[in-house]
Amino acid sequence: MSAATTLVRFPAIVWTHPLLASLDARSRSELESAGELRALSDGDQLFATGDSADAIFVVVRGEIALRSGARTAELRRAVPGEAAGEEAAARAHATRRHDARAAGACEIAVIPAALLRRVMERGEASDAGPKNRTRRWLVRALAKDALERADFARDVAPRDRDRMLDGGRAIELRRGETLYREGDDSTDAYFLGEGIIRVAAREEKRVLAYHKAGDFFGDEAISNEPRDATATATSDAWIFAVRAELVREIAQGNEAALAKALRVQTAARAKQREIRENATRHVLADLHRFETSRSLLAIDQERCIRCGHCAWSCATTHDGVSRLLRHGDVVVAKMRGEAKTLLLPSSCQHCKNPACMIDCPTGAITRDARGEVHIREELCTGCGSCAKACPWDNVQMAPRSEKRHLTVVQASAQVAVKCDLCHDRASGPACVSACPVDAIVRIDPSVELDEVRAVLDKRAPRPAERSGRSLRAPAIVIASSMLGASAFLALDGSPKFGGVVLLVLFVALGSYAAAKRIVRVRVRPHFIAHLAIGAASLGVGLAHARGHSALALAFWGAAGLGLAAGVLGVLVPRRLARIERSAKLPEELGSALRDLDARVFRELSGTSDLLKGLWVRLLGPFSRSPLVLARVCVAAPTQRTMREELIARVRTITSGDDERLAGLDRLASVAVERQALRAQRILVAGLRGVAFAHVVVVCALAVLVVLHVVAELRAW
């Protein structure tokens, strides 16, 4: 792309575009001041599908070719006086729906979308005529885009497509709003222009499909059947609805196009169903989050040892305020072909279209060329608009740093903070560097989570796999143990030399703490080195400590507890990952148990005497049973498995489905969750307790070693 050239005035042809024709002289002047004229060479890309829609482009000279994807057939060409990217004028959080490239040398006028929307709203407030004309043209342009991309509408004759444009209407839904419910009359068929729609049956307990931009759905309207499912927006959505009788009439004359569209829809639903069935808690429940995230923080719960180093390192890097909260959704998803249990903690995901940036009144939130979103504290007034706007509560309000010079006139004592990817650290995010087991990672979910990529049809290349990584640490530790055993034999007759070697190894073991808390480098290599040196030093220590029972006992204790901590660090996280439904900090588990006990009384209120009796005789004892607790700790069945087993047992006792059992599902969930929380407390306490005991014994060993060295020096 050639260098941009800014001119004072746009050519007259720019103002012939329907979006701009009704603007007054003041509005045109403002757009010219903020816009630019740009020259493109043949093949230069103007924008790509999925890019943030922050400007519209009016063609001054030449042509712009638009495709629905980089490899699909050309949809249309924008010629002088026409525009590309009109969706930017419709809404603040729009994304590009096409790929746009120059078809030969051309010149375009670039108009910032945010400013265009403001001047349009100003004109709408003063004159109703231009408002209606502009709005009608914009809706028609967006609807035409939606029809050109959708199966069925794309394959019908242009005359029929025009009839649908004339006979349709636009529907805008906010996240969580319902388009139609199961059992409703089928009055319209739908073409999804933007957003994601979830279709679920049986009171939304069985998900049938997720529809994305470009999909045609609601086809039961063609056969005049009632809705067989409920359609809900999982993100802000723009939908073009066409009357059922009109679609039915057009379908009768285009049976081949309809059959093709239904085959595509059936195949897409089958693929999504296969994905959902292969995951217990799949990521598709919030597909919008994974589509909009550019950098998502994820913690592999089957590796995480719950040490808290990630949050601690984040706090020490950012003036004592952690931008990472270990709360969030726990999902089971396929990542790089392997099923993983992932915690998605509260940490900024640097959205492709940040809601927080739109609502910032001072421009304190910016996005750099790499797509990273940052908050400039010197411009933040502490109004909290960004914290309210973030759909995932990833922006917090914190005390303002005294070392920042304020450039705003009025500012509160608080400032908005969020993850900044530690952009000033050469080694990258501190949380990732501080994890001793490499359980935490930053990913692009639309590329690295197989399920999301499959549903969204992302064809980005997979990241290179790191082969052999899982075997590296055990191999190093085993080799070191063999070295230590060899040293046990070799140094048996050289106590002084063995003492020097042991002292060096002991100092090396202590450097692990410095690596974690002082140097702040990647902890993982030091963690592996710590295990290896500890294994090697065991043989040296035992050989040297022969005849010193206290020293030998301390070495055995430190080694045994270190080994136990290592084994528990492998076994416990896997069990915790199976029994957890949502992530809780260890200090929150006790209060969560008390909350569950209080919930029991709420759930029992108004229920039948049968259900109350079942709680007293069966469900309540189940939630307190030591045997059940032992099973959960050792076998780690999922909560879903335990709940189904418990409900089946109750129904067997009560001889089937009884109306008096209404509410049984909720009470069974409480009983199962209570046992799961008790097991979590025991497993986490064991994981932390053994590690703490290891540190205590090592400290005692250090004291004995110092005393031993002093005694040897005096004797020497």
Confidence of residue 144 (pLDDT cuts 50, 70, 90): confident
**What is residue 155's predicted lDDT score, i.e. its pLDDT?**
87
**DSSP string covering 48-71:** -TT-B--EEEEEEES-EEEESSTT
Least confident of 10-19, 310-319, 579-588, 674-683: 579-588
Name the pLDDT band for 698 (thresholds 50, 70, 90). Answer: confident
The confidence band for 656, taking pLDDT boundaries of 50, 70 and 90, is: low
Q: Given this model, what pLDDT does residue 480 score?
A: 57
Q: pLDDT confidence of 461, banded at 50, 70, 90?
A: very low
Domain boundary among 277, 309, 343: 277
Give residue 493's identity as a one-letter amino acid code. Answer: G
The answer on pLDDT for 412 being more than 80 is: no
Q: Which of 219-228, 363-372, 703-712 has the highest mean pLDDT?
A: 219-228
Q: What percent of the chain has pLDDT over 90?
A: 25
Considering the domain boundaries, does residue 414 fall inside one?
A: yes
294 & 249 share domain: no
- Looking at the fold, whether 436 and 377 belong to one and the same domain comes out as yes
Q: Residues 289, 444: contact at Cβ < 8 Å?
A: no
Whether residue 460 is predicted with pLDDT greater than 60 in this model: the reply is no
- Give 40 or 538, the one with higher predicted confidence: 40
At 248, list the tokens.
Answer: 């039915």
Residue at which a domain ends, from 214, 245, 277 = 277
177 has a pLDDT exceeding 90: yes
295 shares a domain with 265? no
Instruction: Tell me what pLDDT residue 358 has.
Output: 76
Banded model confidence at residue 125, pLDDT cuts 50, 70, 90: low
Whether the per-residue pLDDT at 202 is higher than 50: the answer is yes
Q: What is the pLDDT of residue 497?
A: 65
- Count the domains in the chain: 3
What residue type is assigned to position 23 of the chain? L
Residues 238 and 194 sit within 8 Å (Cβ to Cβ): yes
pLDDT surpasses 70 at 111: yes
Regarding predicted confidence, which is higher, 73 or 666? 666
Partner residues linked to 232 by β-bridges: 178, 198
Query: Do residues 159 and 256 both lie within one domain?
Result: yes
Is residue 623 in a domain? no
Mean local confidence (pLDDT), 432-460:
79
* pLDDT tens track for 31-68: 988 889 999 999 999 998 877 788 999 999 999 998 87
- 69, 105: one domain: yes
Alpha-helix residue ranges (DSSP H) falling in 197-330: 244-252, 255-277, 287-292, 309-317
Per the prediction, the chain carries an average pLDDT of 81
Q: What pLDDT was estimated at residue 3?
A: 42
For the residues 129-155, what does the mean pLDDT come to? Answer: 79
User: DSSP E strands: which ranges in 64-153?
Assistant: 64-67, 74-78, 83-84, 99-102, 106-112
Q: Where residue 404 sits, what CATH number does that domain have?
A: 3.30.70.20
Task: Flag whether pLDDT at 95 surpasses 50.
Answer: yes
Which of 126-130, 135-139, 427-431, 664-668 has the highest mean predicted lDDT (pLDDT)?
664-668
Q: Which two tokens stand for residue 409?
A: 């006139």
Whether 481 is in a domain gets the answer no
- What is residue 646's predicted lDDT score, i.e. its pLDDT? 92
Same domain, 295 and 230: no
Give the Cα separation of 261 and 125 in Å (integer).
42
Comparison of pLDDT for 149 and 633, the residue scoring more: 633
Bridge partners (DSSP) listed for residue 67: 74, 99
Q: Verify that 385 and 316 share a domain, yes or no.
A: yes
* pLDDT bracket for residue 409 (50, 70, 90): very low
Give residue 562's pLDDT band: very low, low, confident or very high (50, 70, 90).
confident
538 part of a folded domain: no
Whether 472 shows a pLDDT value over 60: the answer reads no
Least-confidence region, from 81-85, 176-180, 497-501: 497-501
Domain membership of residue 402 as a residue range: 285-456
Bin 306: left if φ > 0, else alpha if -120 < ψ < 50, else beta: left
Q: What is the pLDDT of residue 333?
A: 83
**First-last CA distance in the chain:** 79
Please state the rounded mean pLDDT for residues 144-166.
88
Shared domain for 124 and 20, answered yes or no, is: yes
How many Cβ atoms sit within 10 Å of the Cβ of residue 87?
A: 23
State how beta strands 99-102 and 45-47 pair: antiparallel
pLDDT at 359: 73
CB half-sphere exposure, 81, CA atoms < 13 A: 5
The pLDDT of residue 1:
41
Last residue of a domain, one of 98, 128, 158: 128
pLDDT at site 498? 63
What is the reported pLDDT for 294? 87
The answer to whether residues 293 and 433 touch, using CB atoms and an 8 Å cutoff, is no
**Is 82 a member of any domain?**
yes
Residue 395, pLDDT above cutoff 70: yes
Judging by DSSP bridges, how do beta strands 365-367 and 36-40 pair with one another?
A: unpaired
Distance CA 278, CA 281 (A): 9
Q: What is the CA radius of gyration of the chain?
A: 32
Q: Is residue 672 part of a domain?
A: no
pLDDT 10s digits, 578-612: 998 877 888 888 888 888 888 888 888 878 888 88
How many beta carbons lie within 10 A of that of residue 26, not counting itself?
11
Cβ atoms of 448 and 463 within 8 Å: the answer is: yes
336 within some domain = yes
Residue 502 has pLDDT above 50, yes or no: yes
Residue 547 has pLDDT above 80, yes or no: no
pLDDT at 38: 92
Do 323 and 446 have their domain in common? Answer: yes
Domain with 93 in it: what CATH number?
2.60.120.10
335 shares a domain with 233: no
Shortest CA distance to 420 belongs to which of 447, 438, 396?
396
Spatial neighbors of 109 by CB under 8 A, at least 6 apart, are 10, 11, 14, 35, 36, 37, 38, 57, 58, 60
Residues 273 and 294 placed together within one structural domain of the fold: no
Task: State both tokens at 589.
Answer: 């588990």
Query: In terms of domains, do 385 and 291 share one?
Result: yes
CA 685/CA 675 separation, integer angstroms: 15
User: Is 399 a member of any domain?
Assistant: yes
Q: For residue 682, what pLDDT is reported?
A: 94
Residue 193 has pLDDT above 70, yes or no: yes
